[in-house]
Amino acid sequence: MILLVTYTAKPHCREAFLRAVQENSLQEIVRQEDGCLEYAYYAAVADAEKILLVEKWASEEQQQTHLRQPHMQQLRQWKEQYIAETTVEKI
């Protein structure tokens, strides 16, 4: 299962969000979860507020388990602070 998650950061907050993710090793933690095949953030070149998160999971069940992990609560707090809008496309 592949998810394309597009974040629109609040004005001038994209770098702060990405810094929080990086400084807390969120990508590395998630990549160690059972069933995670890819978890990577990308900053858009043409739009200073856009971020793309690409998630690949072996199964939807494993992705749902991922959402219940303690570090995802921290991500929700960062999103509340820095992100204005989130859209998810499932492939």
Mean pLDDT, all residues of the chain? 97
Question: pLDDT tens per residue, the chain (91 residues)?
Answer: 999 999 999 999 999 999 999 999 999 999 999 999 999 999 999 999 999 999 999 999 999 999 999 999 999 999 999 999 999 999 9
Handedness of CA 88, 45, 78, 27 (dihedral sign): positive
Instruction: State residue 51's pLDDT score.
Output: 98
